[in-house]
């Protein structure tokens, strides 16, 4: 399994990424709104967490979850510099996120569906965190040659991701994404 190398963290917030991926537009299209609790799983340096914080507002909360202590440290530093109060960094394990059941109105998971060793256990953990009538936005790299991202053989094809999600969610539909990715919305 391909894991993101924290030494490449600067790529997560590069101007080139913003050219093809607009986090604020994408999460609004997926239903992010004021006063929500959103869990950003695999948050990295906060490329989606900080736009989400702006959308959910002072009475909302974004849990920024990552496996990497290095990523959490970078996010913490940026959070302090920005003066953001409604982003809560959370260090987690791959299939165990230390948050209560049904905490999230929305979960997002961007560019990392290819990383978990046990995808079923990972998806079950995301579902555990979701409130009834909540939603999960999965965005991942298209399985096409020539695009940036993990090695082609490690990527999860759109159809494979949809089939996986249909095992756990009542509604699975196409969702918003950047132009080099696919998006899937899953709901209970």
pLDDT in tens, 19-66: 668 999 999 999 999 999 999 999 999 999 999 999 999 999 999 999
Per-residue model confidence as pLDDT tens digits over 85-110: 999 999 999 899 999 999 999 999 99
**Per-residue CA distances from 178 to 69, 110, 145, 173 (Å):** 27, 10, 16, 16
C-beta of residue 155 within 8 angstroms of C-beta of residue 143:
yes
> Which of the four pLDDT bands, split at 50, 70 and 90, describes residue 9?
very low
Looking at domain 19-187, its CATH superfamily turns out to be Vaccinia Virus protein VP39 (3.40.50.150)
């Amino acid at each position: 399994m391909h894991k993101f190398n924290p030494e490449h963290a600067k790529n997560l917030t590069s101007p080139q990424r913003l050219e093809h991926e607009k986090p604020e537009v994408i999460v609004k299209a997926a239903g992010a709104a004021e006063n929500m609790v959103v869990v950003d799983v695999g948050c990295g340096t906060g490329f989606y967490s900080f736009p989400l914080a702006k959308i959910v507002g002072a009475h909302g909360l974004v849990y920024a979850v990552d496996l990497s202590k290095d990523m959490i440290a970078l996010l913490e530093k940026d959070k302090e510099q920005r003066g953001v109060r409604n982003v809560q960094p959370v260090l987690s394990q791959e299939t165990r996120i230390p948050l209560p059941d049904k905490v999230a109105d929305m979960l997002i998971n961007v560019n990392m569906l290819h990383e978990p060793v046990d995808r079923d256990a990972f998806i079950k953990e995301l579902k555990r965190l979701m409130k009834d009538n909540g939603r999960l936005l999965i965005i991942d790299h298209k399985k096409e040659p020539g695009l940036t991202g993990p090695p082609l053989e490690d990527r999860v094809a759109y159809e494979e991701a949809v089939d996986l999600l249909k095992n756990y969610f009542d509604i699975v539909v196409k969702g918003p994404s950047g132009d080099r990715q696919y998006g899937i919305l899953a709901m209970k």
